[in-house]
Amino acid sequence: MSGRFGRSPRGMQHWLGFLLLLAVLLAIPFVAALGGQAWVRIANFAILYVFLALGLNIVVGYAGLLDLGYVAFYAVGAYCYALLASPHFGIHLPFWVILPFGAAVACLFGVLLGAPTLKLRGDYLAIVTLGFGEIIRIFMNNLNAPINVTNGAQGITLIDPIRIGDFSFAKTSTIFGVTLSGPQKYYFLLVALAALVIVVNIRLQNSRIGRAWQAIREDEVAAKACGINTRNIKLLAFAMGASFGGIAGGVFAAMQGFVSPESFSLMESITILAMVVLGGMGHIPGVILGAILLTGLPEALRYGIEPLQKAVFGRMIIDPESLRMLVFGLALVLVMRFRPAGLWPSSLRRRELSEATD
């Protein structure tokens, strides 16, 4: 992509677009705050999911390895942060130590998961990764005895917020005359992290490794025949995806100030996968769109479904909350029905699809 930022007129357009995007990103937390701080929080979770979805995109979208246990790495990252920055063990390390550490541990887990499953394909891999996700969650839920490591189902409280010197992300403060609330500060942190993962994704896409993944995705046997070390390359996909999950987990723990195993259920893995597929697997803008939509839609429905029902039927017919998830489910089905390759698929995929006869 960077190649496109040339000095040609098209390059200018790209720069303009980039600046516009930057302006929009900067404005979002302030515009959202007009509708209430809740929207800033929603925006934060949306970006956190962009981060997670792009991490999973490496595994599923690029390397074609169906992973239903991605939340395990997210959980590992979150617990790393929680254990190293809370009164639970009385350890309070700064975030810039823990986040890389969490990423490294998650990466290790990624390799641990990857190694025994190298031979597996498709749906067999899916069920093993799913099992792995559950195993991690069950351990977190039960490791409070004989030695209390994770505090079991009760979770870990009073986790330190991200802090730079005296500048804490949890409190409202004023910088250069601009008042920023806690969620707004996290917003900027998250945007910066998301930018990082986007750059990594873009760079990977067209790298040697990226092409090797693509080769494996399309035909593993042929890839091997071409001299690609499929074992290492697949492990690398797991490891990279896992590291991003680990970082996201750390930020989540800091943002929430509390972690417990219920945040890392199978449903979470499925939701992240749905973001990747719904948006357009392997296509960065698509995945971002998918993550934002799937985070935003249920919240928007929360605000919208009651007035909507009143407008259509004149009164409340069904509990708004029952209807909310119903509409969400229907949206998934309908999008897949009418945009089978995702909302914003890469041009390559679209071509494959229209040619596909099988």
Binding positions for other proteins, 278-317, rule CB under 8 A: 278, 281, 299, 302-304, 306-307, 310
Q: How far is the CB of 243 from other proteins (least distance, A)?
A: 21
Min dist CB 124 to other proteins, Å, is 6
The structure tokens listed for 79 are: 């617990």
Cα separation of 189 and 174, whole Å? 16
Contacts with other proteins in 50-69 (CB under 8 A)? 60, 64-66
Strand partners, 163: 168
Within residues 213-242, the interface with other proteins by CB under 8 A covers 217, 219-221
Please report whether residue 34 would count as binding other proteins according to CB under 8 A: yes
Among residues 77, 118, 121, the alpha carbon closest in space to that of 99 is found at 77
Interacting stretch for other proteins, rule CB under 8 A, among 4-12, 30-38, 96-104, 185-193? 30-38
Q: Return the range that interacts with other proteins (CB under 8 A); candidates 18-26, 200-208, 243-251, 334-342.
A: 334-342
- Closer to other proteins at the Cβ: 108 or 331? 331
Angle at alpha carbon of residue 212, lines to 59 and 357, rounded to 5°: 80
* 171-200: contacts with other proteins (CB under 8 A): 171-172, 182-183
Quote the DSSP letter at residue 351. H
Stretch that binds other proteins, among 8-16, 104-112, 116-124, 184-192 (CB under 8 A): 116-124
**Measured from the CB of residue 170, what is the shortest distance to other proteins in angstroms?**
8
Residues 76-105 that bind other proteins (CB under 8 A): none
Q: Is the separation of the CB atoms in 288 and 54 below 8 Å?
A: yes
Q: Which residue among 14, 25, 30, 38 contacts other proteins (CB under 8 A)?
A: 38
Contact 206, 214 (CB under 8 A): no
Rounded to whole angstroms, how far apart are CA atoms 328 and 275?
13
Q: Are 68 and 273 in contact (CB under 8 A)?
A: yes
Map the footprint of other proteins across residues 242-281, applying CB under 8 A: 252, 256-260, 262-263, 266, 270, 273-274, 277-278, 281
**Cα dihedral across residues 231, 237, 243, 245: positive or negative:** negative
Candidates 8, 12, 13, 319; binder of other proteins (CB under 8 A) is: 319
What does the alpha-carbon distance between residue 344 and residue 350 come to, in Å, rounded to a whole number?
Answer: 9
Q: Which of residues 140-169 bind other proteins (CB under 8 A)?
A: 141-142, 144, 146, 152-155, 157-158
Contacts of 133 (CB under 8 A, 6+ apart): 68, 69, 70, 71, 72, 264, 266, 269
Shortest Cβ 17–other proteins spacing (Å): 29
